[in-house]
Amino acid sequence: MRIYKAKDYNDLSRKAANIISAQIIMKPDAVIGLATGASPIGTYKQLIEWYKKGDLDFSEIRTVNLDEYKGLSPEDEQSYAYYMHINLLDHVNILPENTNIPNGLEEDSEKECTRYDNVLHFLGGIDLQLLGIGGNGHIGFNEPGNNFGKETHCVTLTDNTIDANARFFPSREDVPKYAYTMGIKNIMQAKGILLIASGEAKAKALYESFFGPITPNVPGSILQLHNNVTVIADEAALSLILKEHEITQGGHIK
- 159-198: which residues touch ligand F6R (CB under 6 A)? none
- Of the candidates 31, 139, 193, 241, which one interacts with ligand F6R according to CB under 6 A? 139
The C-alpha angle 137, 142, 143, rounded to 5 degrees, equals 60
Is 143 tagged catalytic?
A: yes
As measured in angstroms, the least distance from the Cβ of 246 to ligand F6R is 26
The DSSP output letter for 168 is G
Is 138 tagged catalytic?
A: yes
**C-alpha separations of 94 from 24, 89, 100, 126, 182 in Å:** 12, 7, 11, 17, 22
Determine what percent of the chain falls in helix, strand and coil, rounding each to the nearest 5.
40, 20, 40
- Catalytic hit among 65, 67, 151, 153: 67
User: How many angstroms separate the first and last alpha carbons of the chain?
Assistant: 12
- Catalytic hit among 68, 106, 127, 143: 143
Q: 10 Å Cβ neighbour count for 200?
A: 14
Regarding 237 and contact with ligand F6R (CB under 6 A), the answer is: no
Q: Which stretch binds ligand F6R (CB under 6 A): 11-19, 88-96, 114-122, 137-145?
A: 137-145
Binding mask 112-131 for ligand F6R (x = CB under 6 A): --------------------
Regarding 35 and contact with ligand F6R (CB under 6 A), the answer is: yes
| Burial of 78 from C-beta contacts in 10 A (0-12 / 13-18 / 19+) | middle
Is 252 tagged catalytic?
A: no
Regarding 220 and contact with ligand F6R (CB under 6 A), the answer is: no
The C-alpha angle 187, 226, 139, rounded to 5 degrees, equals 40
CB closer to ligand F6R out of 25 and 38: 38
- Of the candidates 79, 138, 223, 231, which one interacts with ligand F6R according to CB under 6 A? 138
Regarding 67 and contact with ligand F6R (CB under 6 A), the answer is: yes
Is 91 tagged catalytic?
A: no
CB closer to ligand F6R out of 156 and 248: 156
Number of chain positions touching ligand F6R (CB under 6 A): 14
DSSP for 2-44, written as a single string: EEEEESSHHHHHHHHHHHHHHHHHH-TT-EEEE--SSTTHHHH
Q: d(Cα 160, Cα 56) in Å, to the nearest integer?
A: 38
**Virtual CA dihedral for 51, 52, 55, 57, nearest 10 degrees?**
40
Residues 69/83, Cβ–Cβ less than 8 Å: no
Q: Which stretch binds ligand F6R (CB under 6 A): 6-14, 50-58, 135-143, 209-217?
A: 135-143
The DSSP output letter for 171 is S
CB closer to ligand F6R out of 44 and 50: 44
Regarding 37 and contact with ligand F6R (CB under 6 A), the answer is: yes
User: What is the contact surface with ligand F6R in residues (CB under 6 A)?
Assistant: 35-39, 66-67, 132-134, 138-141
Give the residue numbers marked as catalytic: 67, 136, 138, 143
